[in-house]
């Protein structure tokens, strides 16, 4: 009987070991898959999803933040200052930029059910502002992205401004989304300022890649600034980053042809 129990214990431990290995392998696959799609759409607005808070007898569940068709933020290795940052303000439209119309074809345009869905979400997110359950910057960016779905650029611009005032000194998210909006509206100099600001306040690879892709497609003849930005990105991200090197090579080849 003792031999049988010993054999059963070994078999059970082996199964648990294999199960743990499978879980680890599965997690690795998820991480690799996320990394593979991280830069598929580098210049789309990042839209945090705010879930309803779940209260317990002791604590409130922290908000879950996700992104829609864009890479998830990775703040590993980024030092965040604990000092109180200076308040940031939404930049005015740059000199020379002209916005013919603030309205555009949003993803929810002309679809009554989806329009109502966006309006309900705007009301829901607005109800959390100032309560402390979620960061206001997250709520404002979420509201701005609902207006983006509706094609209301004026309201999107206004709420991105609120997000920048709330946390634009340490978060590149609202600056990046402002760059996406301004590029869509044809205000390229304003977009340039916003994309660059995202890299200055939060030097993450996502923001550098989006800014460099903007420069190499919209400002491809500005060789001095592009070279300088590539050098700065490599300094902050790494000299051998494959995505940046590929983007640089593509720009060089296009410039020489």
pLDDT per residue as tens digits for the range 242-256: 999 999 999 999 988
What does the pLDDT read at residue 202?
Answer: 95
Predicted pLDDT at 98: 94
Asked if residues 63 and 133 have their Cβ atoms less than 8 Å apart, the reply is yes
d(Cα 162, Cα 147) in Å, to the nearest integer? 14
Residues 6+ apart with CB under 8 A from 71: 34, 37, 38, 39, 42, 206
Query: Which segments of 171-230 are extended strands (E)?
Result: none
Alpha carbon distance 73, 37 (integer Å): 13
DSSP code for 103: B
Helix, strand or coil, per DSSP, at residue 240:
coil
- Residue 87 pLDDT: 65
As beta bridge partners, residue 55 has 60
* Contact predicate 167/90, CB 8 Å: no
Question: Which residues of the chain fall below pLDDT 50?
Answer: 1-42, 54-85
Q: Are 183 and 175 in contact (CB under 8 A)?
A: no
∠ at Cα 199 (197, 202), nearest 5°? 105
For residue 118, count other CB atoms closer than 10 A to its CB.
Answer: 21
pLDDT of the residue at 162: 95
- CB neighbour list of residue 24: distance below 8 Å, 6 or more residues apart: none
Give the span between the Cα atoms of 136 and 130, in whole angstroms. 7
Nearest to 197 by CA among 88, 47, 98, 102: 88
Contact 51, 63 (CB under 8 A): yes
Query: CA–CA separation, 16 vs 111, rounded Å?
Result: 51
Angle ∠(104,109,110) on CA atoms, nearest 5:
130
pLDDT of residue 168: 85
């Amino acid at each position: 009987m003792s031999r049988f129990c010993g054999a059963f214990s070994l078999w059970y431990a082996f199964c648990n070991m294999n199960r743990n290995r499978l879980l680890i392998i599965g997690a690795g696959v998820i991480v690799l898959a996320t990394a593979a799609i991280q830069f598929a759409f580098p210049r789309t607005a990042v839209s945090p999803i705010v879930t309803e808070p779940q209260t317990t007898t002791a604590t409130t569940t922290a908000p879950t933040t996700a992104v829609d068709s864009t890479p998830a933020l990775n703040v590993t290795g980024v030092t965040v200052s604990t000092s109180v940052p200076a308040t940031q303000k939404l930049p005015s439209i740059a000199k020379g930029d002209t916005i013919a119309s603030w309205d555009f074809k949003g993803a929810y345009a002309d679809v009554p059910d989806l329009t109502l869905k966006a309006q309900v979400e705007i009301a829901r997110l607005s109800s959390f502002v100032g309560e402390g359950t979620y960061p206001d910057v997250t709520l404002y960016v979420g509201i701005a992205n609902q207006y983006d779905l509706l094609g209301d650029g004026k309201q999107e611009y206004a709420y991105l401004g609120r997000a920048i005032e709330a946390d634009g000194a340490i978060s590149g998210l609202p600056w990046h989304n402002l760059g996406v909006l301004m590029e869509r509206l044809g205000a390229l100099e304003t977009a340039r300022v916003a994309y660059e600001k995202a890299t200055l306040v939060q030097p993450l690879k996502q923001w550098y890649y989006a800014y460099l892709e903007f420069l190499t497609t919209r400002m491809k003849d500005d060789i001095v600034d592009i070279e300088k930005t590539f050098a700065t990105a490599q300094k902050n991200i790494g000299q051998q980053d494959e995505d940046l090197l590929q983007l640089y090579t593509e720009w060089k080849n296009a410039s020489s042809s």
